[in-house]
Chain A
């Protein structure tokens, strides 16, 4: 039996929310939860509009992730623009330095990692999130990001490398 839209919500809402949360909502803003909620609603609204045209044997999960990624990219651009305008980037760097003063603290380390992830290019951020936080495999990631599996692997590699080097530098 073909998948119904209400089943799509039931099965995938939580993981799509978690994906958007990881991509756009982890920078400590007070209104982050509301923004991710809006974004999740937008994803399901767009999905609803084009659901009827989807082939029954399509990979619905990958399709939903693809819409979510597009929405997240737009949001990340908007956030970057806002950050640039308010020079919040400096604030983020200062936060990073402050955090480094107490390297023994687990919370500080997590904060550092989040700040570093937020500085990654959007595609690397999406790839590493899909692979290691959403636990998707490379064929699915390639489908979501409309790229080859090699490109997805390369982006994950670059992201991990960048994080490793940055964390080593801070030690």
Chain B
């Protein structure tokens, strides 16, 4: 390309930029508002909040059905990462006020069970049935993975039961920490700091 031609092309680009400068803010704003409004109506809303607990920072989230996630001893970003990336996340302490109040009572030893609507609809029917059984374990008691499997009529499914408990999105409230191995060892725990947290919770409830 000659120098002359390059200059001409540069002039064309300059003319192009002048002729097709971006849209005015008065045109952009209504579109931005419209897309955001549509998203607010379309995307599921998840409201979350946090509190400090003996097990570290504790996060809880609710959707329109009820409590859908709880975790502790992790970073805020780790907690938020678990949600569908199309959902609308809002930090709203008021929305989780009731959840956090009951948890405070639990940690203070003033409450042993929870009275909260929960949403575990994202789990498989088997995972849900395992968590339903876990909710029947009274505070201060422990069941084995095998006992839960038997309760479900699948006595050889101890391992899948363990897998389902590991996917419990609402530990403490759904007391998966009350399930231990048949040999008396603690088994596993996916909440917070793992087995350390499980031991702490069982001690709080007088099961150890």
Contact = CB atoms under 8 A, between A and B. Distances in A.
Interface in B147-175: none
A42 to B, nearest CB: 10
A43 B132 CA distance: 42
Interface residues of A, number: 43
A133 B38 contact: no
B12 A163 contact: yes
Given A6-B39, A41-B35, A164-B8, A17 B28 contact: yes
A130 to B, nearest CB: 12
A109 B15 contact: yes
Interface residues of B, number: 33
Interface string A95-138: 00000000000100111111001000000000011001100000
Contacts of A66: none
Contacts of A117: 16, 19-20
Nearest to A33: B27
B173 to A, nearest CB: 25
Interface stretch (A20-28, A73-81, A83-91, A141-149): A20-28
B20 A51 contact: no
Give the dominant DSSP class at A's interface: helix
B89 interface: yes
B116 interface: no
Interface string A1-37: 1111110010001100110011001100000010011
Contact of A17 (B15, B17, B31, B86): B31
Contacts of A14: 28, 32
A40 B31 contact: yes
A1 B77 contact: yes
Interface in B28-79: 28, 30-32, 34-36, 38-39, 42-43, 77
A45 B16 CA distance: 31
27 contacts: A1-B77, A1-B80, A4-B89, A5-B85, A6-B43, A17-B23, A22-B22, A25-B23, A33-B23, A33-B27, A37-B31, A40-B31, A41-B31, A41-B34, A51-B86, A52-B84, A52-B86, A109-B15, A110-B19, A111-B19, A113-B15, A113-B19, A133-B16, A133-B20, A160-B9, A163-B16, A164-B8
Interface of A: 1-6, 9, 13-14, 17-18, 21-22, 25-26, 33, 36-37, 40-41, 44-45, 48, 51-52, 106, 109-114, 117, 128-129, 132-133, 160-161, 163-164, 167-168
Given A14-B32, A18-B23, A117-B20, 14 more contacts: A2-B81, A4-B89, A22-B20, A33-B23, A33-B27, A41-B38, A44-B35, A109-B19, A114-B19, A132-B16, A132-B17, A160-B13, A161-B9, A163-B15
